[in-house]
Amino acid sequence: MKIRAAIPDDLAAIAEIYNQGIRSRLATFETAERTVPDLQSGLGDPKHPLLVAEKGRQVLGWIQASSYRPRVCYAGIAEFSVYVAETARGQGIGDTLMTTFILACEQAGLWKLTSRIFPENTASRALCKRHGFREVGVYEKHGKLEGVWRDVVIVERLLESNLT
């Protein structure tokens, strides 16, 4: 398996994997499926890596940093999302993506990564725990998904090399 920066040719596969997560209702509040044009703006931002896991020219997963808040004081903090294709889960792809992603974020000058995870998404919570994220709290009734209020667990990891 190879982890690399995403390129325009990857966007269809990224959209399909993301849409699997949207359809599952386990990974995101989003309900509208994504298209290639929806995802184009995420490519090529040196401050916010977008990586894919590829095996035999097939994209099996992706991970992306995005801006946390627009204020300058938060420029070194990024939110992240990670998704693995349904057919490729349980094969260590998330772990491999996360390891490379953390290094890429350190190289980009970020000092903290954060995300919000549905409490019942035990696979994502376990992935984050294995990679040094700590659960810092719960946002209660953070948003509605199909008319139902949902909580999210907040996770964060400091990137120590950039905190000096």
What's the pLDDT tens digit per position in 6-42?
999 999 999 999 999 999 999 999 999 999 999 988 8
CATH of the domain at 110: 3.40.630.30
Residue 53 falls inside a structural domain: yes
Q: For the chain, how many structural domains are there in total?
A: 1
What's the pLDDT tens digit per position in 116-160?
999 999 999 999 999 999 999 999 999 999 999 999 999 999 998
Residue 79 falls inside a structural domain: yes
Residue 102 falls inside a structural domain: yes
Query: Which pTM does this prediction carry?
Result: 0.95
What's the pLDDT tens digit per position in 49-74?
999 999 999 999 999 999 999 999 99
Residue 132 falls inside a structural domain: no
Domain range holding 106? 2-115
Residue 147 falls inside a structural domain: no
Residue 80 pLDDT > 90: yes
Residue 139 falls inside a structural domain: no
Enter the DSSP assignment of 132. Answer: T
- E strand or H helix at 63, and its extent? strand 58-67
Average pLDDT score, the chain: 96
Residue 137 falls inside a structural domain: no
Comparing CA positions, the residue from 82, 154, 152, 157 lying closest to residue 124 is: 82
CB of 80 within 8 A of CB of 124? no
Residue 154 falls inside a structural domain: no
